Amino acid sequence: MQLSRPALAALMQRWFRRRQGADGDSIELHQRRIYILPTRIGLGFGVVLFTMLLGALNYSNNMGFALAFLLTAVTVVSIHHCQRNLTGLRLAIDGCAPVFAGEMIECSVRITNPGRSPRWQISAGPAGALTPPVDLAADGSAKLQLCLPTTRRGTQPCPEIRVSTRYPFGLFEAWAWLYPVRELMVYPQPAAELAAALPAQAADLEHAGDTLRGSDEFVGLRVPVPGESPARIAWKALARSGQLLAKDFRSGAGSSWFDWDVLNPAGTEARLSLLTRMILDADADGRAYGLRLPGVELPPDKGREHYHRCLTTLAVFSLGAAHEG
């Protein structure tokens, strides 16, 4: 029983999905895509009504019948009001900006009520994790915020979105499923810190140094390496603080290359994380950078578009596919 419930839910989900097809980013809720079932308290109420009916039948108690039938009728009417509360609403999905693995994808559902009657108590999200319900005046609209936890990089299909209401009595729940066609992008998780991530690869840093440390632009001070050129020692700083430091320069005009091969011994995911961190830092500093992966090469550039293109490349990168390609 415990195991069959999720299985049943998945089966239902497949059926709903097949029945409805995929949705664009904006849809109108038609009657035929709204489902309605009693809630737990609704089932309990059904039991109470049935007991009343039996009691009234047994005692031939007409006031009992009157109460039982009046409450039954109100319940039946409430089913209709519950479903009507969703019918005709317009939903638009917004947001879903890419995030780094481990962060939450945030998405908002904008609900618009084009009808002439107000709508009440509308929530989004699965049962047990509903957004606080909103009331919509006639011609009103509201935004419901949802979020999705991520664990791994890559693209993932946008999960179905459930919009529901228990108006008016909470005895029934009407809901509709949205199956947005869009895909969600999850960038690799950036490595915590570049320097901390690389201490063991001193030999590679020599090589990387050529790439990483150009000689164009002063970026800061660092601990000098043995045999450091005297031209690079920060004499003024030595005079001031008594500590020996070297000036660090990087190539300024956008000629940095972030190269997969430089980070050779690390695993694929670790290397992608490092590259992500490099891109993040470079973007924050406003430097131009290029990305070189097996089978892919993005020439150095700047700007949001380039930034996202690089991160997307990293997110979907697969070593096997690259080698085959």
Query: What residues does 319 pair with on adjacent strands?
Result: none
**Sequence-separated (6 or more) residues with CB below 8 Å from residue 211:** 256, 257, 259, 262
Provide the minimum distance between the beta carbon of 308 and another protein in the complex, in angstroms, as a whole number: 23
Provide the minimum distance between the beta carbon of 272 and another protein in the complex, in angstroms, as a whole number: 22
CB nearer another protein, residue 165 or residue 251: 165
Provide the minimum distance between the beta carbon of 46 and another protein in the complex, in angstroms, as a whole number: 10
Asked whether 166 and 39 are in contact (CB, 8 A), the reply is: yes
CB nearer another protein, residue 157 or residue 303: 157
Which residue reads 């009417």 in tokens? 77
Please calculate the CA angle 96-109-32 and round it to the nearest 5 degrees.
Answer: 120
CB nearer another protein, residue 45 or residue 317: 45
Q: Kindly give the interhelix angle for 268-285 and 304-316, rounded to the nearest 10 degrees.
A: 170
Provide the minimum distance between the beta carbon of 9 and another protein in the complex, in angstroms, as a whole number: 9
The amino acid that residue 188 corresponds to is P
For 124-155, give one letter per residue: b (16+ CB within 10 A) or e. bbeeeeebebbebeeeeebebebebebeebbe
Provide the minimum distance between the beta carbon of 112 and another protein in the complex, in angstroms, as a whole number: 10
Provide the minimum distance between the beta carbon of 182 and another protein in the complex, in angstroms, as a whole number: 13
Asked whether 280 and 197 are in contact (CB, 8 A), the reply is: no
Which helix (H) or strand (E) segment is 119 a member of?
A: strand 119-124
Mapping DSSP to helix (H, G, I), strand (E, B) and coil, where does residue 194 land?
helix
CB nearer another protein, residue 171 or residue 293: 171
Strand arrangement, sheet containing 134-136: 34-38, 172-178, 161-165, 119-124, 134-136
CB nearer another protein, residue 36 or residue 296: 36
Residue 80 CA: distances (Å) to CA of 70, 76, 83, 170, 217: 16, 7, 5, 13, 71
CB nearer another protein, residue 117 or residue 215: 117
Asked whether 216 and 249 are in contact (CB, 8 A), the reply is: yes
Provide the minimum distance between the beta carbon of 54 and another protein in the complex, in angstroms, as a whole number: 7
Provide the minimum distance between the beta carbon of 213 and another protein in the complex, in angstroms, as a whole number: 42
Residue 18 CA from chain centroid, whole number: 24
CB nearer another protein, residue 44 or residue 299: 44
CB nearer another protein, residue 87 or residue 255: 87
